[in-house]
Structure 1
Amino acid sequence: MSYIFSALIGIIIGSFPTAYLILKKIKNIDITKAGTGNVGAMNSFEVTQSRTLGLLVFIIDFLKGFLTVYIVKNLFGNEFSIIMISLIGAVFSHCFSFWIKFRGGRGLATAAGGASLLSLPILGIWILLWLISYAFRRNIHFGNFSATLLTGALSFSSSEIMNKYTNPSANSNLEFSILVSLMLLIILIKHIKPIKEYFARQNLKTREKENE
């Protein structure tokens, strides 16, 4: 029952459609129909050109992950699998919120919020990989996709080290790898469309240069 209740806590908290409610209230904008349609901080900023609103959305989405882990830790104790299931639930329902017809954001802020309390090494590795990836292509979506994919791979290849510095640690390295990669897979799925669009633009630029 602990797993079910922890998952429900994550799903309920994560489903709060931050960007949709804030932009609808302040700007009378339906974020699901504006810009990329993504219900997250980046699209909120791009649509409104307001750093304040973009940051506000990011902070609240970050807190959704943080509060999920904090609440479940206090209710059910330091059991990695139970806590991680709740965070997976929060990330999933953030990405596919039932309040807005299963639309949502891409899950990064919510995942980061949970990881900041559960596993700083995972968050630190992701940020480092993002910086390297972004420097290589100068594209946020490429950085997001690459860092998430590589962190998922490292959760298997370096699970012993990453699990050791996670609080609480998983009962086994395989449990750690599977649950972490499952959360990252949700994030990757939400990045398929923007990464395909990015490479399509790159291919178009390449063809245009060849035809000059």
Structure 2
Amino acid sequence: MMEMIYLVSLLLGYTIGSFPTAYIVLKRFKSIDITTAGTGNVGAMNSYEVTNSKGIGIIVFIFDFLKGIVPILLLSILGIKSFSFYAVSLLGCIYAHCYNPWLKLKGGRGLASAAGGTAIIFPFVLVIWGICWLIFYLFKKDITIANVAASSIVLLIIALSLKTAMNYAYPKPESEAVLFLFSLGLFIVILSKHTEPIQTLFNDMKARGGKN
């Protein structure tokens, strides 16, 4: 029975996460294939940069944010109230968003959907991540660096304070291992979508260093 609930949770999150918000919005309103425009990232930031429309960027962000919330709410409505099931569903959602099955595994970076889900089950992480992100962005003025640095620091904080972090997750995780594995899974999926921009950033830094 437990295995079936895990499977349902995963498939529910994966199905909702696979809804390609940015692709549909840009195709419908701008006749743009976002997978081949700008960075090719199927998310709010690239939607804004490609269209130069804050409205479209905000719409995409809101829908992607809601994608992280909806599977958890649906599970709750079905009477399933367990951190493990919510975590599995959210991870499935973020993975499908990042590696969309309808777009030949192209997708976004998962941050908006991750924010939506963690706002429900682990708001502590979202607040700390936001503070760290803001600090790094103000210091380096680079979104990629801020994303990766904030995510890395949050994972470290959770790993070093699991007992305390357990009290800020809803519903309370079944064990410290469950909370850590969820946090690690979240970090790995999001980091996997930042490897290319990080490499580009390093190459640019090397090029500038060579010129000097």
TM range (shorter): over 0.9
**Structure 2 matches for 1:39-58, cutoff 5 A?**
39-58=42-61
Report the Cα offset of residue 17 of structure 1. Answer: 0.4
Could you tell me which of 4, 7, 15 is aligned with 1:4? 7
Q: Show CA shifts across 1:31-80 (max 9, x none).
A: 00000100000000110000000110000000000111111222243211
Structure 1 counterpart of 2:24, which letter?
A: L
Q: Tell me, yes or no, if the aligned pair for 1:159 and 1:173 is still in contact at 8 Å.
A: yes
Could you tell me which of 5, 8, 16 is aligned with 2:19? 16
In structure 1, the partner of 2:170 is: 167
Structure 1 counterpart of 2:154, which letter?
A: T
Structure 2 counterpart of 1:64, which letter?
A: K
Could you tell me which of 138, 143, 146 is aligned with 1:140? 143
In structure 1, the partner of 2:127 is: 124
Report the Cα offset of residue 203 of structure 1. Answer: 2.1
Number of positions where the alignment pairs a residue of Structure 1 with one of Structure 2 = 209
**Structure 2 matches for 1:76-115, cutoff 5 A?**
76-115=79-118
Q: Show CA shifts across 1:84-121 (max 9, x none).
A: 00000000000011111111000000000001111110
Structure 1 counterpart of 2:96, which letter?
A: S
Unaligned runs of 5+ in 1: none
Unaligned runs of 5+ in 2: none
In structure 2, the partner of 1:67 is: 70
Report the Cα offset of residue 128 of structure 1. Answer: 1.0
RMSD value, Cα = 1.0
- Measure, in 1, the Cα distance between the counterparts of 2:23 and 2:45: 13
In structure 2, the partner of 1:184 is: 187
Secondary structure in 1 matching 2:138 = helix
Q: Tell me, yes or no, if the aligned pair for 1:2 and 1:76 is still in contact at 8 Å.
A: no
Could you tell me which of 170, 187, 207 is aligned with 1:204? 207
TM-score normalised according to structure 2 size: 0.95
Percent identity between matched residues is 41
Q: Tell me, yes or no, if the aligned pair for 1:11 and 1:90 is still in contact at 8 Å.
A: yes
Structure 2 counterpart of 1:143, which letter?
A: A
In structure 2, the partner of 1:156 is: 159
Secondary structure in 1 matching 2:78 = helix
Q: Show CA shifts across 1:126-154 (max 9, x none).
A: 11111121122110011011111221222
Q: Tell me, yes or no, if the aligned pair for 1:155 and 1:181 is still in contact at 8 Å.
A: no
Query: Per the alignment, do residues 146 and 169 of structure 1 end up closer, same or farther by CA in structure 2, a change over 3 Å counting?
Result: same
In structure 2, the partner of 1:36 is: 39
